Chains A and B, each alone.
Chain A
Amino acid sequence: MKSRRVIRVCKMGVVGYLNSLKLQERLVSSRKAGEVPDTLLSLQHPPTYTLGKRRTDHNLLVSPSDLARMGADLHYTDRGGDITFHGPRQAVLYPIISLREIGLGPRRYVENLESTMIELASLYGVEARPGGSAETGVWVGDRKIGAIGIRISGRVASHGLAFNVNPDLNYFKHIVPCGIADKEVTSLQREVTSSTTLDEDDVEDKLISCFIKQLGYTDVVHEHRDSLLPTEAEAK
Chain B
Amino acid sequence: MALRMWASSTANALRISCSAAKSAGLSPSFSITRCFSSVLDGLKYAPSHEWVKHDGGIAVVGITDHAQDHLGEVVFVDLPEAGGSVSQGSSFGAVESVKATSDINSPVSGEIIEVNTKLTETPGLVNSSPYDDGWMIKVKPSKPSELDSLMGSKEYTKFCEEEDAAH
Query: Which residues of A does B touch, CB under 8 Å?
Result: 52-54, 78-81, 102-110, 133, 136-137, 148-155, 157
Contacting residues, chain A, for B76 (C-beta < 8 A): 53-54
Using A102-B167, A103-B164, A103-B167 as known contacts, say yes or no to A153 and B98 having CB atoms under 8 A apart: no
B residues less than 8 Å from A137 (CB atoms): 99
The answer on a CB contact under 8 Å between A81 and B94 is no
Chain B interface (Cβ < 8 Å from any Cβ of A): 48, 69-73, 76, 78, 91, 94, 96-103, 105, 163-164, 166-167
Query: How long is the Cα–Cα vector from A136 to B101 in the complex, in angstroms?
Result: 14
Q: Is the CB of A78 within 8 A of B101?
A: yes
Most central of B48, B94, B99, B102 by chain A CB within 10 Å: B99
Given A80-B97, A80-B98, A80-B100, check contact A107 B72 (CB 8 Å): yes
Interface contact A148-B99, CB-CB below 8 Å = yes
Residue of A nearest to B167 (CB): A103
Contact B97 A154, beta carbon cutoff 8 Å: no
Contacts of B73 in A (CB 8 A): 133
List of A residues within 8 angstroms of B94 by Cβ = 53, 78
Kindly provide the distance from the CB of B164 to the nearest chain A CB, expressed in whole angstroms. Answer: 7
Per the bound structure, the CA–CA distance linking A8 and B105 in Å amounts to 28
Q: Which residues of B contact A155 (CB under 8 A)?
A: 48
Which residues of chain B come closer than 8 Å to A105, judged between CB atoms?
69-71
Tell me, in angstroms, the Cα distance from A150 to B100 when the chains sit together. Answer: 5
CB-CB under 8 A from A102, the residues of chain B are: 167
16 A-B pairs whose Cβ atoms sit less than 8 Å apart in the complex: A53-B78, A53-B101, A102-B167, A103-B163, A103-B167, A105-B69, A106-B71, A106-B100, A107-B70, A107-B97, A110-B98, A150-B99, A150-B100, A151-B100, A151-B101, A154-B105
Tell me the bound Cα distance from A59 to B100 in angstroms.
19
Of the candidates A52, A53, A107, A157, the one whose C-beta lies within 8 Å of that of B71 is: A107
Closest to A137 in B: B99
Chain A contacts for B101, CB-based, 8 A: 52-53, 78-80, 150-152
B5 to chain A, nearest CB (A): 22
Contact of A106 among B98, B163, B164 (CB under 8 A): B98
Q: Provide the residues of chain A in CB contact with B167, threshold 8 Å.
A: 102-104
Which 9 A-B pairs rank lowest in CB-CB distance, beginning with the nearest?
Answer: A105-B70, A107-B72, A103-B167, A106-B100, A152-B102, A80-B101, A81-B99, A80-B100, A150-B100
Measured between beta carbons, the chain B residues less than 8 angstroms from A104 are 167
- The docked-state distance in angstroms from the alpha carbon of A52 to that of B164 is 29
Assess the B98–A136 pair: CB atoms within 8 A: yes
Task: Name the residue on A nearest B71 (C-beta).
Answer: A106
| Residue of A79, A105, A148 ringed by the most chain B CB atoms within 10 A | A105
With beta carbons under 8 angstroms apart, the residue of B96, B103, B166 that contacts A154 is: B103
Q: Which residues of B contact A151 (CB under 8 A)?
A: 100-101
User: What 17 new A-B contacts, CB under 8 Å, besides A149-B99, A155-B48?
Assistant: A52-B101, A53-B76, A53-B78, A80-B98, A80-B100, A103-B163, A103-B164, A103-B166, A103-B167, A106-B70, A106-B100, A106-B102, A108-B70, A150-B99, A151-B100, A152-B103, A153-B103
